[in-house]
Structure 1
């Protein structure tokens, strides 16, 4: 006589097997967690390195912030045509269209319309390796913030305090901040207007 297979036998067997596996997993869960706790060290905020070193060249600022010194990103190594005296010397320029060939990409859009600045308003006429303020004092390119600050004094005050510009690396450690020309093109410093990257619904 042939045995009849009860239709519930196979699903019942699967369910029983699942229950056994689950109970086995639950029985071993404690030992598994204990293994993890032994191998993984607990998080300690004091062990996190909070100060990242600034790898770019910096100079000690010629200004102080609340009586303390700070550093600024150096500028000269970022200027492709520096030293200017390599070309601007006592020898006369014999090349035709020398300005267009060497500084043709410089567009001066600095100052009010109709009263834009010229090269000599910022660059020293006698020594092109330096900038020069309105009192005739030479300013090193690495400290161009001293030149910018003579007109943009409000921005300079905010820059000194940290409300304008950015700090390099983290907030911990020695204070190193960007120079004005690190963000602004000195010949055309105004950022162009642009739309937000995402649209936000107006608040009513």
Structure 2
């Protein structure tokens, strides 16, 4: 007999396939193809495994991986908001909250509650795991844009101050990685692929 829990879990698994269709503004490394949310989340999860030793504090890496794999699932309903969008704030919105409740709500109650709690923790960005997860989320597009001669910075006219202000959150998760990221940002200015106003 097939359990109700299994049916709910399969329904969730089918629903989250839609993450593969959510296009991001950033492009793959050395490419003109836009990344999708599934690729982004996978890449961040691997980055967390590889870079965990550079976290400011000892972290529960599995929890960070869970955060990174689920953090953009809400975009199935809410859509992707470009981090440098000037019309819409890139923060936890009512749309995302409704999406989290609907999508994670497909799961059995205990699993739904766990994933919503992990998603909320990531969004709040206050725990050591959330801080490190956010540092991964901010690092990857930086690496992409520097590999693409400015990428979305050039395409959307994003200047140094905006990049610096969005990326400095990396320091809260990893001072070591922030040192690397800050150097990349400054090198991008020197190369002329990121403009100072």
Is the pair's TM-score, using the shorter chain for normalization, greater than 0.5? no
State the TM-score bracket (shorter-chain normalisation).
under 0.3
TM-score norm. by structure 2 comes to: 0.22
TM-score norm. by structure 1 comes to: 0.22
Structure that is richer in helix per residue: 2
